[in-house]
């Protein structure tokens, strides 16, 4: 009996030791997972563009066995807040930082310190001066702006003489500058079209709404608006609909939130330039992992954009862009 007791105790001890070793092995494996930080321009979940990018990041993290922490500011215009966040990230030292820079110039010094600290830096959506990051993954925003400008030219009533307006989002971001340049270059090909001074909504739907209300009241001959990001488009569309200016003021926008799609169906919005934020997030994580393993990554990856109107929005290829998570 005593022999059986000792045998059982010995077997139990072996099982306990095996369980401890197994747990230690799992913990060690988890500890070895690459640690990345994703810093979008805003963590505002109402902005579907950044939520789609986050989903791309999450899918890649799960697929490649990477841990990705998300940190950002509530507002895209809080450049100082993003700088402070990145300063802390240098102290925390993840293996890689995936950054959507809120300013083309002001983020450069802290970005340089990130690289000097031995942290891999990947840029998404918005570039920085001097091309500091190892890879830049984004839409060709100049080309997107050029498409938007041409759509505005094609859509407005050419028999009238009123001006058109550009409502940009955050002054000083590469994305905003490139899109505006593209729009203005397209509009410049029609010297008969007067373009008003660019307005900036600070990526706020409410500010865009108020700016558009004022435009509609002070510029009764206004023929069209190019709104250059999601909150700006939604705010402008809301004002146009509210003042019943749909028939005379044509609106061209960017991105594809559910609100924008509804405005497109209602003819409040004539066209949108649709990007691929999910792809940006996914490819950014993959690029960061490849670089951490010493693999080559293209310095610039263009994820592309598409022009979508009410006329083509129901085709299967455009539906996949508008609803990237629907069942195939």
List, for residues 260-316, the tens digit of each pLDDT value: 999 999 999 999 999 999 999 999 999 999 999 999 999 999 999 999 999 998 888
**What is the pLDDT, as a whole number, of residue 6?**
52
Q: For residues 133 and 299, what is the distance between their CA atoms, to the nearest angstrom? A: 8
Write out the H or E segment, with its range, that includes residue 58.
helix 48-64
CA angle 200, 205, 208 (to 5 degrees): 40
Q: What is the CATH number of the domain that holds 169?
A: 3.40.50.2300
Angle at 125 between CA 122 and CA 127, to 5 degrees: 65
Distance between CA atoms of 161 and 143, rounded to whole angstroms?
27
Please tell me the distance from the alpha carbon of residue 285 to that of residue 54, in angstroms, as a whole number: 11
Q: Mean per-residue pLDDT for 119-139?
A: 95
Residue that terminates a domain, selected from 234, 259, 274 = 274
Whether residues 133 and 156 fall in one domain: no
Residues 111 and 258 occupy one common structural domain: no
Torsion of CA 156, 157, 163, 169, to 10 degrees: -20
Mean pLDDT rounded to a whole number for the chain: 91
Query: Is 302 within the bounds of a domain?
Result: no
The confidence score (pLDDT) of residue 32 equals 73
Give the domain extent around 56. Answer: 30-139+276-297
Q: Is 8 exposed, middle or buried (0-12, 13-18, 19+ CB in 10 A)?
A: exposed
The DSSP bridge pattern shows strands 67-70 and 135-138 to be unpaired
3-state SS assignment for residue 65? coil
- Grouping H, G, I as helix, E, B as strand and the rest as coil, residue 201 is coil
Distance of CA 148 to the CA centre of its chain: 18
pLDDT at 328: 37
Percentage, residues of the chain above pLDDT 90: 81
pLDDT for position 21: 54
Whether pLDDT at 9 is above 60: no
Residue 3 placed within a domain: no
Compute the Cα dihedral for 44, 50, 55, 59 and give only its sign: negative
Residue 190 burial (C-beta neighbours within 10 Å; 0-12, 13-18, 19+): middle
**Whole-angstrom distance, CA of residue 120 vs CA of residue 95:** 6
135 and 208 together in one domain: no
Examine residue 115 and state whether it is found in any structural domain, yes or no: yes
Q: Is 182 found in the same domain as 61?
A: no
Task: Answer yes or no: do 108 and 128 share one domain.
Answer: yes
The domain boundary, picked from 243, 274, 305, lies at 274
Residues 248 and 184 grouped into a single domain: yes
Asked whether residue 291 is assigned to any structural domain, the reply reads: yes
Copy the structure tokens of residue 82.
């993003």
Asked, for residue 325, whether it belongs to a domain, the answer is: no
> Residue 119: which of 81, 88, 150, 144 has the closest Cα?
88
Number of structural domains (the chain) is 2
| Same structural domain, 92 and 210 | no
CA 323 to chain centre: 16
**Same domain? 96 vs 157:** no
144-190 residue pLDDT tens: 999 999 999 999 988 888 999 999 999 999 999 999 999 999 999 99
Q: For residue 327, what pLDDT is reported?
A: 42
Q: Buried b / exposed e across 61-76, counting CB within 10 Å, b at 16+?
A: beebebebeebbbebb
Do 103 and 211 fall within a single domain? no
Higher per-residue confidence, 201 vs 4: 201
HEC string for 216-253 = HHHCCCCCEEEECCHHHHHHHHHHHHHCCCCCCCEEEE
Intra-chain end-to-end CA distance of the chain, in Å: 65
In a domain, 163, yes or no: yes
Residue at 8 is within a domain: no
Q: What is the pLDDT of residue 3?
A: 53
Q: Indicate whether 181 and 248 sit together in one domain.
A: yes
- Same-domain status, 167 and 126: no
- pLDDT exceeds 50 at position 29: no
Task: Evaluate whether residue 235 is within a structural domain.
Answer: yes
pLDDT at 326: 46
For residue 69, the cross-strand partners are: 37
Burial of 59 (0-12, 13-18, 19+ CB in 10 A): middle
Q: Are residue 220 and residue 261 in the same domain, yes or no?
A: yes
């Amino acid at each position: 009996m005593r022999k059986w007791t000792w045998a059982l105790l010995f077997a139990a001890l072996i099982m306990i030791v095996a369980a401890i070793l197994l747990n230690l092995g799992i913990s060690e494996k988890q500890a070895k997972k690459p640690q990345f930080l994703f810093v979008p321009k805003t963590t505002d979940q109402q902005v579907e563009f950044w939520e789609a990018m986050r989903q791309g990041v999450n899918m890649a993290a799960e697929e490649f066995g990477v841990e990705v922490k998300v940190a950002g500011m509530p507002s895209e215009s809080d450049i100082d807040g993003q700088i402070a966040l990145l300063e802390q990230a240098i102290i925390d030292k993840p293996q890689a930082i995936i950054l959507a820079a809120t300013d083309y110039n002001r983020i450069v010094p802290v970005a340089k310190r990130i690289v000097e600290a031995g942290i891999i830096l990947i840029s998404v959506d918005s570039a920085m001066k001097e091309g500091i990051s190892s890879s830049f993954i984004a839409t060709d925003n100049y080309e997107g702006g050029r498409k938007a400008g041409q759509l505005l030219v094609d859509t407005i009533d050419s028999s009238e003489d009123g001006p058109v307006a550009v409502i940009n989002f955050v002054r000083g971001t590469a994305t905003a500058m490139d899109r505006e340049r593209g729009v203005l270059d397209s509009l410049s090909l029609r010297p008969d079209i007067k373009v008003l001074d660019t307005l900036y909504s600070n990526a706020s739907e409410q500010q865009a709404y108020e700016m558009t209300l004022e435009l509609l009241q002070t510029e009764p001959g206004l023929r069209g608006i190019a709104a250059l990001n999601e909150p700006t488009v939604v705010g402008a569309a809301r004002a146009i609909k509210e003042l019943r200016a749909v028939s005379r003021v044509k609106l061209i926008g960017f991105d594809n939130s559910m609100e924008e799609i509804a405005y497109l169906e209602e003819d409040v919005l004539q066209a949108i330039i649709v990007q691929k934020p999910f792809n940006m997030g996914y490819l950014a994580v993959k690029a960061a992992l490849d670089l951490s393993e010493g693999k080559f990554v293209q310095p610039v990856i263009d994820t592309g954009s598409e022009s979508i109107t009410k006329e083509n929005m129901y085709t299967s290829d455009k539906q996949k862009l508008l609803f990237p998570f629907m069942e195939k």
